[in-house]
Chains A and B, each alone.
Chain A
Amino acid sequence: MTNLLQRILPTVQKPARYTGGEWGEIKKNLEDVRVRVAFCFPDTYEIGMSNLGMRILYGVMNEMDGVWCERVFAPWGDMEDAMREHNLPLWALESQNAVKDFDMIAFTIGYEMAYSNILNMLNLAGVPLHAKDRQGLKNMVFAGGVCAFNPEPLAEFIDFFSLGEGEEITVEIVALYDKAKAEEWSKERFLREVAKIPGVYVPSLYRHEYNADGTLSAIVPLEGAPETVTKRIVEDLDNAYWPTKMIVPSTEIVHDRANLEVFRGCIRGCRFCQAGFSCRPVRKKSPEVLYKQAMETMEYSGHNEITLSSLSTSDYRGLKELTDELIPYCAENRINLSVPSLRADNFSRELMEKLQTVRKSGLTFAPEAGTQRLRDVINKNLTEDEILNTCANAFSGGWNNVKLYFMLGLPTETDEDVLGIAELVYKVIKTWQANAVNKKRGLRVHVATAYFVPKPHTPFQWEKQITPEEYLRRCRLLKSHFYSKSITYDYHGPDLSRLEAVFARGDRRLGPVIEEAVKNGAKLDGWDEYFNYSKWFDALNECGIDADFYTTRGYGEDEVLPWDTIDVGVKKKFLLKERHRAYEATVTPDCRHGCAGCGANCLLKEVECDA
């Protein structure tokens, strides 16, 4: 008789994402396995399999003797319905075993709006949601990823957080668990011991106290827990673990290509950007190592495309050397080399032309703000001349498509700045008229604006978010100034970004809100098909939480911040200085033009910051 899952599969969309069995999947003999880890990604297979961090840590854990790490993804709604109807608990892809039978359950969290998926996945797995309801070592739930830099909204659900880059810390955590399991420790003992691993944050070892006005008054470490927990980094990327034998999905995923990370950290210091500050310091990888890894990756995977990734690939010092070697190899083997997030400088323009021999992709800019003044405020060092020059070049080279991304609601933004976006777009159109080689096809300018979300560990971490009404007014104001048929203007409704702002800077009182929203059916909030603001609105009301407290209120500079326990390397004093420079519209040059003294270099012991 055909088993239950096999009977369900014909009834759901894209069944191949639920079966595993891809090229490069790691299977182990259970007799040799002492610790089983269910590595959960709180979104669908297509999104999760595109995540580089998950692929690295999958490899890292499976390199460990006696440890088997398997993958788990959030099911799409049709599969979830079938699972609930037939009482089929969430399973891991490799063994098809139920997640509730695993020793450790790990999550990697890159986006606040995935919080509902975490709870929903635990629920689908049949694992108690609250850390306190999970007794013993079994089903130890831990999490990492960017969202772990303010993990408080998840504090009551996750046993502990792993901060920063996971290559080394994950091994230490899993090895400790291996020992604890062999020696039959209690959960309490394990949590006390794991808290001693640098970079591990155990929320139950901290008490949060509040003032009458709702702000935090103190964060009290308990049982000898450290006052702050500092994120972990890998110092020597050339010798760090890198998975050249990566899984090749049998069904199409979002980033369906090989991916090579060229360096870590960012020299730019855009004041709104969480990754830009929280991923510091800058550490390089040598072109020789990268070239070798690229070869191995391509030969193992059979992909016909490889992407060089980082926060700002133009800033990679070895880019010319690496691409000079890679381009001939890729051309010969019919491999597309894609280099996203290039800056609008001269070398990038040359590189773009060389890459064109393979395929012509679109041209995308993220000026973020419409006027130079506001771009100075946010420290986005991209000038109008740079944008227009690059456009002119591209248009004369045959491009007819430009995407321009902006944010609305940035600190100090006025209507003049909003209308500056329209002006910039018109200048792009004029540039096309002056430079286009083939005007018959017409020009498409795609403009998108996002609703600014202040993020922890950035100079804007104290800022107010503008109200949703004000955001919409600015969108409409901008829209009313777009007259050309060449322009497509997209803006999203404010609801999702408002919630993102709530949870990004949220505290422990938001745990019940997530739980309530999930009870109401919130899930897959990153997907338009599923996002339903009313479920969250109701949950906030039900729990007596005022979203404005976290969004439009703004945080005081003297206020205790929920994420004060977490140290990402960049000092709070530096962030504050940057905030005040923003108000003066003073730019801070990139790190290569002089160290601004952010403090992240203190995380390095063996090497110097490579900014």
Chain B
Amino acid sequence: MPRLLFEKKGNAVWISHLDLMRLFQRAFKRAGLPLTHTQGFNPRPSVSIALPLSVGVESGCELLDFDLDGVIIPCKDIMERLNCALTDGVRVLDVYENGAKIKHLSYLDCCLTLEYDRGVAAGTVENMKALFCRDEVIVEKKGKNGIVEQNIIPMIRNLTVEQAGEKEVKIHARVCCQNPSLNPMQLSAAIDKYLPEVKPDFVRCCRVEVYDEQENVFR
């Protein structure tokens, strides 16, 4: 099945996963690209997005699988036509005739920007580094069966903390994104819980890249 790579930025980050699927279904229609439909009582255009992105999180590496009905259109044309039919903040970066199997999708790189309106306190970066070097950092996770506690450390592949200007700290991390998966915002939750004295005023989160088991870029 063909796959496309897209980014979700600006105000588009506030569009939910389900709304984004609808948005793409309509964009395909506007672009004159007919999608195949699912079978069943309520046939739906077949688009699926690999890893649902939390509302408010920016991404430069979203993957969407789709299936065109009958017609064969070059990937480059699909990209151009879709980009003319998409709203601000959602942009197709590339289109592939066939994507790798989703089950091989294993890691993702993320970047957290921690904002401190009154400046970054001394020792913040060091304390954070130390926190993520522990063997166990337990954070609550809301699951289908209520709140569960989980140790996030085994799901962090690597992580760096650096100060960026007077008022920002940036955390770059590579984390597991399938079986098990770590929501990058859990890193921020860990800071709030373990280092309440350096709780930021606001956190921005961005998904940067996705990888397979061998940590090769996943497409």
Contacts and interface: CB of A to CB of B under 8 A. Distances in A.
Interface residues of A, number: 27
B109 to A, nearest CB: 21
B19 A304 contact: no
B25 interface: yes
Interface stretch (B84-92, B128-136, B209-217): B84-92
B74 interface: no
A21 B55 contact: no
Given A15-B55, A334-B43, A2 B202 contact: yes
B19 A252 contact: yes
B23 A250 contact: yes
Given A23-B87, A252-B19, A304 B14 contact: no
Contacts of A250: 12, 15, 19, 23, 87
A7 interface: yes
B14 A302 contact: no
Contacts of A16: 11, 14-16, 19, 55
Contacts of A9: 14, 56
A19 interface: yes
A303 interface: yes
Contacts of B115: 1-2
Contacts of B16: 14, 16, 251
A430 interface: no
* Residue with the highest number of chain B CB atoms closer than 10 Å, among A2, A10, A250, A301: A250
Contacts of A2: 115, 202, 204
Interface string B173-208: 000000000000000000000000000011010000
Interface in A347-377: 359
Contacts of A334: 34, 37, 43, 45
Contacts of A184: none
Contacts of A359: 42
A299 interface: yes
Interface in A9-54: 9-10, 14-16, 18-23
Interface in B13-56: 14-16, 18-19, 22-23, 25-30, 34, 37, 42-43, 45, 55-56
A1 B117 CA distance: 8
B154 interface: no
Nearest to A12: B14
B30 A21 contact: no
A10 B55 contact: yes
Contacts of B14: 9, 15-16, 18-19
A359 B37 CA distance: 14
A487 to B, nearest CB: 26
A359 B56 CA distance: 35
A251 B15 CA distance: 7
A250 B11 CA distance: 11
Contacts of B87: 21-23, 250
Contacts of B10: 21
B105 to A, nearest CB: 26
A362 to B, nearest CB: 14
B12 A248 contact: no
Contacts of B81: none
Contacts of A14: 16
A301 B30 contact: yes
A251 B204 contact: no
B167 interface: yes
Given A15-B56, A251-B19, A304-B45, A21 B202 contact: no
A18 B14 CA distance: 9
A300 interface: yes
Given A2-B204, A23-B87, A248 B26 contact: yes
Nearest to B116: A1
Q: For chain B, which range describes its interface: under 10, 10 to 19, 20 to 34, or 35 or more residues?
A: 20 to 34
A23 B29 CA distance: 13
Nearest to B32: A299
Nearest to A4: B202
Contacts of B88: 21
Contact of B202 (A7, A22, A300, A302): A7
A20 B14 CA distance: 10
Interface string A290-323: 0000000001111110000000000000000000
A19 B26 contact: no
A300 B15 contact: no
Interface string B77-107: 0000000011111000000000000000000
B30 A300 contact: yes
Contacts of A1: 115, 117, 167, 202
Nearest to B26: A302
A10 B56 contact: yes
A301 to B, nearest CB: 7
B187 to A, nearest CB: 16
A304 B55 contact: no
A248 B22 CA distance: 11
A21 to B, nearest CB: 4
Interface string A317-339: 00000000000000001100000
A27 to B, nearest CB: 10
B217 to A, nearest CB: 29
Interface in A204-248: 248
A300 B202 CA distance: 38
B26 A20 contact: no
A23 B55 contact: no
Contacts of B22: 252
Nearest to B54: A10
Contacts of B27: 23, 302
Contacts of B30: 23, 299-302
A303 B67 CA distance: 18
Contacts of B19: 16, 250-252
Contacts of B34: 333-334
B12 A21 contact: yes
A302 B85 contact: yes
A391 B87 CA distance: 44
A224 to B, nearest CB: 49
Interface string B105-141: 0000000000101000000000000000000000000
Nearest to B12: A21
A15 B12 CA distance: 10
A482 B23 CA distance: 45
A20 B87 CA distance: 10
A301 B30 CA distance: 6
A588 to B, nearest CB: 43
Contacts of A23: 23, 26-27, 30, 85-87
Given A2-B202, A15-B56, A21-B89, A304 B25 contact: yes
Nearest to A252: B19
A443 to B, nearest CB: 20
Interface of A: 1-2, 7, 9-10, 14-16, 18-23, 248, 250-252, 299-304, 333-334, 359
Given A1-B202, A301-B26, A304-B29, 8 more contacts: A15-B14, A21-B11, A21-B89, A299-B30, A300-B30, A303-B26, A304-B25, A304-B26
28 contacts: A1-B115, A1-B167, A2-B204, A7-B201, A9-B56, A10-B55, A10-B56, A15-B55, A16-B14, A16-B16, A18-B14, A19-B11, A19-B14, A20-B11, A21-B87, A23-B85, A23-B86, A250-B12, A250-B23, A250-B87, A251-B19, A301-B30, A302-B25, A302-B26, A302-B29, A303-B26, A334-B43, A334-B45
Ordered nearest first, which 6 A-B pairs have the shortest CB separation? A302-B26, A302-B29, A302-B30, A19-B11, A15-B14, A16-B14
